[in-house]
Amino acid sequence: MLVAALVAPALAQDARRAYVVEDDAIRESLTGKPGDAERGRAIVGNRQVGLCLLCHAGPFPEERFQGNLAPDLSGAGSRWSEGQLRLRIVDAASLNPATIMPPYYRTEGLDRVARSFAEKPIFSAEQIEDVIAYLRTLRD
Amino acid sequence: MNRRLGALLLLMATQASAEIPEAERRSGYHDMGASVQAMQDDDMANPAMLWVLDGEKLWAQRQGAAGRSCADCHGEPSRMTGVAVRYPAFSESASRPISLDQRINQCRTEQQKAPAFDYESRELLSLSALVAMQSREHKIAPPDDPRLRTFLEAGAATFNRRQGQLNLSCAQCHEDNRGKRLAGATIPQAHPTGYPIYRLEWQSLGSLQRRLRNCLIGMRAEPYAYGAPDYVALELYLMKRAAGMPFEAPGVRP
């Protein structure tokens, strides 16, 4: 079993929480509590915040333009456990180095990040947990 | 070494992702709606022609301490036929490749003894649109110049380099996922066939470097400064990658 501990450096603006990767999952909530599915849906549907629908389609009949670069989010909650979803959002490249899925909670090892985003993860820990809570509701 | 072998070695050295086979190369023109295509095709409807008209006036105006116009040295704009399709090109005085915009400014400062135009200024875009239009229907023909090789390699490396908070490379979208939809937009193959372009999103004419800057900002990467060698190397690589494709400047894009 692969067990890797990552201790995030202390950051002034968005202190990232430490997490533990086991197999292909992060089992523990980054905030220590479950997220809110309704807030998660709003994040996923927002092109400026979640960016998700640029690449993924999903059950958002009110959103006219959805991407097709990545799998449809419908059924994501059946395909993946909560912990598997968490690692895929936090740092999908740790599972597939060639992925186009951005690292939503990793800031190390990135190149030429714009100054306004430097040292900041795309999502906060709370946003990640909210998105996971929403994706878990998407069952086939 | 002949050109094809050189290009092959360059690809082997630098290409990590799926190179687009020649038969599958297509201009972004073919990915846009019929109304935008019609706008590009008709000079009376193509908004870029307003810049071209300004460019014609500038071409004939005596400028700078030397009191010389472009026409005084070059003659009619039509004498510029075939020039834009071979830029960026190596500049002896700069000891590196320069873009067409930089070449125009080199004429300004060295021949006309006039101050360089700002990047993306109306004047510079007008002159580059005028010069670029003279190569319409010509094939993109990057110079076969050994001095360009290291810069081409640098451009290819930039194209394949993951950048920004979203950790994407140019190649991941424009080669691996070409033709798919990023939200509502078809991802083009990133061939610089029509620059400078009138982009409806900008409501203006703009250079290839402005377009590259848009992509970098979208990736949440730090854009390079206009005129930076990184941009010119990337332009050089993109032109090489599009070698043989018909030039359609000034293009219109959504």
What digits encode the pLDDT tens for the residues A61-95?
999 999 999 999 999 999 999 999 999 999 999 99
Q: What b/e string do you get for B163-172 counting C-beta neighbours within 10 Å, with b at 16 or more?
A: bbbbbbbbbb
Q: Looking at domain A3-136, does it have CATH number 1.10.760.10?
A: yes
Contacts of B8 (CB under 8 A, 6+ apart): none
**Of residues B198, B126, B201, B212, the one with CA closest to residue B163:** B212
> Cα–Cα–Cα angle for B221, B224, B228, nearest 5°?
160
Tell me, yes or no, if B166 comes closer than 8 A to chain A by beta carbon. Answer: yes
Which pLDDT belongs to residue B117?
A: 98
Mean pLDDT for the stretch of residues A38-54: 94
Q: For chains A and B, what is the number of CB pairs under 8 angstroms?
A: 70
Express each pLDDT in A96-125 by its tens digit. 999 999 999 999 999 999 999 999 999 999
- Asked if B60 is an interface residue toward chain A (Cβ–Cβ < 8 A), one would say no
Q: How far is A123 from chain B (nearest CA, A)?
A: 11
**Number of domain units in chain B:** 1
Picking from A51, A110, A120, the nearest residue to B167 by CB comes out as A110
pLDDT score recorded for residue A16? 83
Q: Would you list the domain boundaries of chain A?
A: 3-136
ipTM exceeding 0.95, yes/no: no
Contact B179/A at CB under 8 A: no
CA of B173 vs chain A CAs: smallest distance (Å): 8
Residue contact A69–B164, C-beta within 8 A: no
Active-site annotation holds for B173: no
Amino acid at A67: G
Q: Domain span at residue B70?
A: 3-13+24-253
| Cα–Cα distance measured from residue B26 to residue B17, given in angstroms and rounded to the nearest whole number | 18
Tens digits of pLDDT across chain B (254 residues): 455 555 544 444 444 556 899 999 999 999 999 999 999 999 999 999 999 999 999 999 999 999 999 999 999 999 999 999 999 999 999 999 999 999 999 999 999 999 999 999 999 999 999 999 999 999 999 999 999 999 999 999 999 999 999 999 999 999 999 999 999 899 999 999 999 999 999 999 999 999 999 999 999 999 999 999 999 999 999 999 999 999 999 999 99
Distance, in Å, from the CA atom of B216 to the CA atom of B228, rounded to the nearest integer, reads 14
Picking from B165, B177, B224 by the largest number of A CB atoms within 10 A of its own CB, the best residue to mutate is B165
Give residue A35's pLDDT: 98
| pLDDT at position A140 | 84
CA angle B238, B239, B243 (to 5 degrees): 120
Nearest to A9, CA basis, from A113, A115, A87, A109:
A109
Regarding beta strands A19-22 and B89-91, do their DSSP bridges make them parallel or antiparallel, or are they unpaired? unpaired
User: In this structure, is residue B18 part of a structural domain?
Assistant: no
Look at residue A10 and tell me whether its pLDDT is greater than 80. no
Structure confidence at residue A39 (pLDDT) = 98
Q: Which residues of B touch A97 (CB under 8 A)?
A: none
Report whether B177 contacts A100 (CB < 8 A).
yes
Three-point CA angle A118, A45, A134, nearest 5°: 95
Question: Within 10 Å of residue A8's Cβ, how many Cβ atoms?
Answer: 18
Q: What is the CATH number of the domain that holds B207?
A: 1.10.760.10
Q: Are A59 and A72 in contact, with CB atoms under 8 Å apart?
A: no
| Yes or no, beta carbons of B177 and A53 under 8 Å apart | no
Instruction: Tell me how far apart the alpha carbons of residues A5 and A2 are, in angstroms, rounded to a whole number.
Output: 10
CA distance A98 to chain B (A): 9
